[in-house]
Amino acid sequence: MLDVLIVGAGPAGCVAATVLARAGASVRLVDRATFPRDKLCGDTVNPGTLAVLRRIGLAAPIEQLGLRVDGMRLTGGNGAYVDGYYPAGLWGRAILRRDLDWSLLQSAIKAGAAFEEALTVREPILKGHEVAGAVVVGHGSRRALHARITIAADGRRSSLTFALGLARHPVRPRRWAIGAYYEGVTDLSRLGEMHVRFGRYFGVAEVPGGVANVCLVKALQPRDDGFRDPAALLNRALSHDPLLRDRFRRARAVGLPVVLGPLAVDTVDRHVEGLLLAGDAAGFVDPMTGDGLRFAVRGGELTANAALETLEHGWRGVHRRLAKARRREFGAKWRFNRAVRAIVSSPHAVAAAAASGRIMPGIFRRAIAFAGDC
């Protein structure tokens, strides 16, 4: 029997696998995809996340491959903008998510974690009310992987959390992301960009390879054109935005856009022995303040520490202590994220925020530093 089975080889799963394998646990990491693989993401690692990766010895490949990001440009629909630079000596990196995940996976394997790809988790293995592994399908077979601890790190549509009734998609917010890479975008810089408009926002960042990552996040209904023709919806939104249309006038999409959603996932306040959650499987909101990788990387480390505690001392109080650690680590950022989402949902709030950005830009610069976990 394995000590730990980790479902999902994204950043949360790979960081957890690395920490656990280094500590001597027997770890198997599985994923339904084959790697390297592409994934919709803003493709930026903020300074706080980079600091965590440095501390656990996983940052070197990311710093070698990624472009330096010195801060954020925040704009409102009325033309107001603020450039906020991270404090002296701090910066982030822009790196293709494909390369980031591949780097973290290689580190987990090097640490001693076994990895199997192209495996789909069908259901948890239950012994009474306790999870004891998972049933997987792939490579022409169906088999059971038994483990003392199972970590669900398989994203916002986690097969394990939904199967156990631990997660749901809330009625609000029902936002979707449409992302693509563009070449020929003008006026790119070492600043990541967040363009906040009523009911939607754009993220723009230059990434290695001479292209820009562009994500549009907005509410979509099942009958919207965005599901039938996401490229047309994204191009239309860019061409109608007064601050972006000239910069994208001669730009061309590289490849097809990706649609992801609904973004938000809520987890219920109930725990199952044998199972720990990490990354988006532990709860997800659209990460408009650039926190997704921070939650994944640091969250994966916290979950690994909880698993090590469990292997040594048993399950008593582990879920409670892990929840407390997550609140202490992420509580302020969750509140900040909700506040920014509330602004996007109100045209008056967007206008007021844009006006305050012109009058008191220091407030926005402090917000950008906070968003970067500086």
Beta bridge partners, 311, equal none
CA distance 87 to 55: 19
| 81 within a domain of the structure (yes/no) | no
* pLDDT score for 173: 63
Residue range 74-92: mean pLDDT, rounded: 83
Instruction: State the average pLDDT over residues 245-255.
Output: 96
Query: What does pTM read for this prediction?
Result: 0.92
The reply to whether 57 falls in a domain is yes
> Integer distance in angstroms from the first to the last C-alpha of the chain?
42
Q: What angle do CA 48, 14, 315 make, to 5 degrees?
A: 95
pLDDT of 354 = 61
Sign of the torsion angle spanned by Cα atoms 267, 272, 273, 274:
negative
**Number of domains comprising the chain:** 2
- CATH number of residue 323's parent domain: 3.50.50.60
**Residues 53, 119: one domain?**
yes
88 against 356, higher pLDDT: 88
Share of the chain above pLDDT 90, in %: 64
Domain match, 217 and 127 both: no
Split at pLDDT 50, 70, 90, the class of 288 is: low
Predicted pLDDT of residue 108: 98
Question: Do 134 and 180 share a domain, yes or no?
Answer: no
Higher pLDDT: 104 or 80? It is 104
Same domain, 133 and 58: yes
Among the listed ranges 33-42, 103-112, 159-168, 342-351, which one has the minimum average pLDDT value? 342-351
Q: Looking at the structure, tell me whether residues 295 and 192 fall in a common domain.
A: no
Q: Name the more confident of 262 and 297.
A: 297
| Same domain as 234, residue 180 | yes
State whether 254 and 353 are in the same domain: yes
Do 106 and 189 belong together in one domain?
no
**What are 108-165's pLDDT values in tens digits?**
999 999 999 999 999 999 999 999 999 999 989 999 999 999 999 999 889 999 999 9
Residue 198 confidence (pLDDT): 82
What is the reported pLDDT for 287?
60
Are 145 and 192 contained in the same domain?
A: no
User: What percentage of the chain reaches a pLDDT higher than 70?
Assistant: 89
Q: What pLDDT shows up at residue 144?
A: 97
Domain identity same for 33 and 138: yes
139 and 187 assigned to the same domain: no
Q: Quote the pLDDT of residue 218.
A: 87
Name beta bridge partners: 175: 219
Q: Which residues pair with residue 94 across a beta bridge? A: 44, 67
Domain that holds residue 230: 175-263+344-371
d(CA 23, CA 77): 50
Determine, yes or no, domain membership for 82.
no
Same domain (yes/no): 60, 154: yes
Q: What's 112's DSSP letter?
A: T
Mean pLDDT of the chain: 89
CATH number (domain holding residue 361): 3.30.70.2450
Who has greater pLDDT, 330 or 359? 330
